């Protein structure tokens, strides 16, 4: 069996104030191999971005990891110093942030920003860094690299800025890439181009990719395995094929029903009633019980554990049964 590139075991991440702490990511476990893609799916507020920032060591000031292990190529990242993490970030692990226009500095040219990312990790001359930056701009499918190198982010389209972010993330050939909503706010054609670009870059560099998204349609295009996250907990884990065609958790089923289907005519699109609970006021039992159409007294009182439904397929639901078909 191929060695795991990244293993996250029972990760717990909390926000703290002077009086108490609130759990944002609760006992999350997953792994990924080189050349494979893991999709982390869920609504806004489900803990997807906080999970990735925990691995990258980029949590906000009030956030901290309170439990769990993060093993990257056999090294426990929680035991690494900030200096060690600075060497790993960008060179071995990298991240495409959600809003490319906000992530890029508007007062520096995109060429300067790509070059600085290279110079931060590799001993190259500025001319060598520029040469690699020009090559990367071309590699991510942007025409006229020389002209774009000297452009400022505000002079480029959203799709081009997203490609520049990918170029920066790939500037030192990382082994693992976190892509946080890489197609958000892009039109459908550009979305497809960005996904194709990620797949091409993955094939070229044999990267592991963690794709963070709210869109199961995007996951179906690129991911090998999927974690469905809700209110900081994994609700369902399995291969993309199993999750897309045989969901066993009512939350996953709801997300599937919310995907518009070509040729299907409906007066209204399906939506899951209610909202993701505030981390300060989590339900006593199942995190999804306040929105679940199948919830009963047990669901509201007793928190379910993750159970294996079939080999490699897990669900956190009292009603999930082995070999469930079409939902629980």
Q: Quick: pLDDT tens for 188-203.
A: 888 888 888 889 889 9
Predicted pLDDT of residue 324: 44
The gap between the terminal CA atoms of the chain, to the nearest Å, is 32
Predicted pLDDT of residue 320: 84
Predicted pLDDT of residue 261: 73
Reported as a single tens digit per residue, the pLDDT across 248-281 is 999 999 998 887 776 667 667 788 999 999 999 9
Q: Identify whether the C-beta of residue 205 lies closer than 8 Å to the C-beta of residue 288.
A: no
Predicted pLDDT of residue 327: 41
Pairs from 256-262 (Cβ < 8 Å, separation ≥ 24): 256/216, 259/216, 259/217
Predicted pLDDT of residue 322: 57
Q: Domains of the chain: which residue ranges?
A: 100-173
Predicted pLDDT of residue 106: 94
pTM: predicted TM-score of the whole model, two decimal places: 0.90
Predicted pLDDT of residue 243: 93
Q: What sign results for the dihedral spanned by CA atoms 184, 186, 191, 197?
A: negative
Predicted pLDDT of residue 326: 46
The count of other CB atoms within 10 Å of the CB of residue 89 is 18
Cα dist from 232 to 89, 194, 293, 328, whole Å: 24, 28, 20, 21
Predicted pLDDT of residue 217: 83
Cα–Cα distance measured from residue 32 to residue 176, given in angstroms and rounded to the nearest whole number: 9
Which residue ranges in the chain fall short of pLDDT 50? Answer: 324-328
Reported as a single tens digit per residue, the pLDDT across 107-150 is 999 999 999 999 999 999 999 999 999 999 998 889 999 999 99
Predicted pLDDT of residue 2: 62
The count of other CB atoms within 10 Å of the CB of residue 269 is 9
């Amino acid at each position: 069996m191929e060695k795991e590139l990244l293993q996250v075991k029972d990760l717990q991440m909390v926000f703290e104030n002077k009086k108490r702490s609130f759990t944002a990511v609760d006992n999350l476990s997953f792994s990924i191999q080189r050349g494979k893609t893991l999709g982390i799916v869920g609504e806004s507020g489900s803990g997807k971005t906080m999970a990735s920032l925990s691995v990258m060591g980029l949590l906000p000031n009030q956030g901290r990891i309170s439990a769990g292990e993060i093993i990257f190529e056999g090294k426990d990242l929680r035991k690494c110093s900030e200096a060690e993490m600075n060497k790993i970030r960008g060179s071995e692990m990298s991240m495409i942030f959600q809003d490319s226009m906000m992530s890029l500095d508007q007062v520096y040219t995109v060429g300067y920003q790509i070059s600085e990312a290279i110079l931060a990790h590799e001993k190259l001359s500025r001319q060598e860094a520029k040469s690699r930056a020009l090559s990367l701009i071309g590699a991510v499918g942007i025409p006229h690299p020389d002209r774009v190198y000297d452009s400022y982010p505000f002079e480029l389209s959203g799709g081009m800025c997203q490609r520049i972010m990918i170029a920066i993330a790939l500037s030192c050939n990382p082994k693992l890439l976190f892509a946080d909503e890489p197609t958000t706010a892009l039109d459908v054609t550009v979305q497809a181009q960005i996904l194709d670009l990620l797949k091409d870059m993955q094939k070229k560099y044999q990267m592991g990719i963690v794709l963070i998204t709210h869109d199961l349609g995007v996951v179906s295009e690129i991911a090998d395995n999927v974690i469905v996250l809700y209110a900081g907990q994994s609700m369902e884990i399995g291969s993309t094929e199993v999750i897309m065609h045989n969901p066993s958790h009512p939350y996953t089923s709801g997300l599937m029903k919310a995907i518009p289907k070509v040729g299907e005519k409906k007066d209204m699109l399906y939506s899951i009633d209610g909202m993701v609970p505030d981390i300060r006021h989590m339900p006593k039992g199942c995190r999804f019980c306040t929105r679940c159409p199948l919830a009963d007294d047990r669901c509201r009182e007793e928190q379910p554990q993750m159970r294996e439904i079939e080999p490699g397929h897990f669900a956190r639901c009292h009603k999930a049964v082995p070999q469930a078909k079409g939902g629980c």
